[in-house]
Structure 1
Amino acid sequence: MTYLLDPAWHAEKTRLDDLAAHYDPGTAAVFDRIGVAPGWRCADIGAGGGSVVEMLADRVGPGGHVLAVDNDTRYLEPLAGGQVEVLAADITADPLPADHFDLVHARLLVEHLPSAEDAIGAMVAAVRPGGWLVVEDLDWSTVSTVDPPSPAHERVLRALRELFDTMSYDPCCGRTLPRALRRAGLDDVGFRAEPRPLTADRERGVPLWEMFVDQLAPHLLGGGLLTQADLDAFHRLWHDGESTGFGPLMVSAWGRLPGGA
């Protein structure tokens, strides 16, 4: 296995919607910072459920253009039309239009790819001189924090780390992004980082965190990394109404390609 998450999972759209609810505000803050404006040509790579595509389409208006790119476009096709174009493609194999976009954006994509340097290089090649690249990925350094301490939580984290080692997923990707953008030749590099607080809820639990583990459960169980009792204890933890912790750190990094007006 090389890709961490299965896009055909039965609750994938729900998971993507929950991700959007948590992370779209931070993405919007970055777009505010770099000044995404009407008429811009933008590309969202690994566009997933399409929430960022809709955000960009609203900002660039009818005079702009948003290219939504993903291997699996089932959730993007309904957005096609007007200023939105949908493309089924893999940026590691299918080049984007060169020197074309005012903004190229990717969230929760680079961490899954075998070579972050190659992926960032492919995206930089699509940015016009003076345009921006924004890359957002997770760093798992904050996930071990939970109160009160929980053996169930620690067992799941240990199993996830072992699973990550069997594939191309990089749990430290987020922290490397600012340096990677500088090495790719971008100027005005900046970044923001935000952990998601996790608060156990007796009714809802913590869907974002629990769905991630549930989607990987067949691999965790099948590989002998966890037992069903371990998973049950993990879910009870996030429904106890008491436990608190942090999810992975979301690192958003941006940089501008030199040149342009």
Structure 2
Amino acid sequence: MSYVLDPAWHAERARLENISALYDPGTAEICDRLGLAPGWRCLDVGAGTGGVAERFAERVGPAGEVLAVDADTRFLEPLAGGALSVRRMDVTAEPLPGNRFDLVHSRLLLEHLASPEPVLRSMVRAARPGGWVVVEDIDWTTVRAVDPPSPAHDRVVTALLTALAVGPYDQNFGRKVPRLLRAAGLRDVQVRAVSLPLTADPVAGQPAWDLLIDQLAPRLLAAGLVDEDDLDAFHRLWHDGDILGFGPLMVSAWGRRAESADA
């Protein structure tokens, strides 16, 4: 499975934990709305650092079950125990356990895949008849909006989107998720889309931008998409305490598997 970012990058855990801090509350709200409760069986696909899986384990309690799967389980393995189990697997090559889970979830996974539909179908089959599937992926359409306007921000974001366009990564995948859930046979599909405001802290900066651009900087520089002055100006901007921007549009969509396992 290809991945546009390097899971072995020295600050990758910090980057992923920042993403969790931004988006875990919204994920928890959706899953609670769907009735997540003690005794449920949950599957988190592409579980990352395990923030969502841990929240699931807290909700389902000792009578429930949470399976967290990822191709790289270095951050997940220390969390295993009690209701939470961890499995290393490449979901593009291996089928998920079928007809078992009350709730199947993925976030920021399918957008990275050259062929996301087979993995989505595997996720649907993993849900029990009547179970829920929740998919969350982003659409980068909102990230150019900043106030006050900034040429430095625009240059670096343009470079980022150019780099993301190389390879299988789909930077507009989020908008496709509701349609793909319906095509996969899910019923009662609903959608929520949120672009979080991102502010510039004089000390902390804006980790959502700083960590992403720091990891991709060698690639952006090597491709001639930016120079060091561009990157310095970008980081100064997100430490100025004034600029307001917006994160990518997080599209969360969910639907229910048909009550018949053959549907």
Partner Cα separation in structure 2 for residue 46 and residue 149 of structure 1: 36
Q: Secondary structure at the match of 1:209?
A: helix
Partner Cα separation in structure 2 for residue 167 and residue 149 of structure 1: 30
Asked whether the equivalents of residues 99 and 127 of structure 1 are also in contact (C-alpha less than 8 Å), the reply is: yes
Partner Cα separation in structure 2 for residue 124 and residue 31 of structure 1: 16
Partner residue, 1:183:
183
Asked whether the equivalents of residues 121 and 184 of structure 2 are also in contact (C-alpha less than 8 Å), the reply is: yes
Q: Secondary structure at the match of 1:6?
A: coil
Matches within 5 A, 1:89-238: 89-238=89-238
Asked whether the equivalents of residues 100 and 126 of structure 1 are also in contact (C-alpha less than 8 Å), the reply is: yes
Q: TM-score, normalised by structure 2?
A: 0.96
How many pairs are equivalent? 261
Q: Structure 1, residues 194-240: CA drift from partner, whole Å, max 9, x if none? A: 11101111111101111111111111111111111111111011111
The letter for the 2-side match of 1:47 is A
Partner residue, 2:10:
10
Q: CA separation of 1:184/1:103 partners in 2, compared to 1, >3 Å: closer, same or farther?
A: same
Matches within 5 A, 1:33-44: 33-44=33-44
Asked whether the equivalents of residues 57 and 64 of structure 1 are also in contact (C-alpha less than 8 Å), the reply is: yes
Partner residue, 2:248:
248
Q: Secondary structure at the match of 2:37?
A: coil
**For structure 1, which runs of at least 5 residues remain unmatched after alignment?**
none
Partner Cα separation in structure 1 for residue 163 and residue 92 of structure 2: 23
Q: Structure 1, residues 114-149: CA drift from partner, whole Å, max 9, x if none? A: 122222112111111100100011111111101111
Q: Secondary structure at the match of 1:15?
A: helix
Q: TM-score, normalised by structure 1?
A: 0.97
**For structure 2, which runs of at least 5 residues remain unmatched after alignment?**
none
Partner Cα separation in structure 2 for residue 10 and residue 190 of structure 1: 37
CA RMSD after TM alignment: 1.4
1:57 is the counterpart of 2:57? yes
Superposition deviation, residue 260 in structure 1:
5.8
The letter for the 1-side match of 2:94 is D
Using the aligned pairs only, state the percent identity: 62
Asked whether the equivalents of residues 165 and 171 of structure 2 are also in contact (C-alpha less than 8 Å), the reply is: no
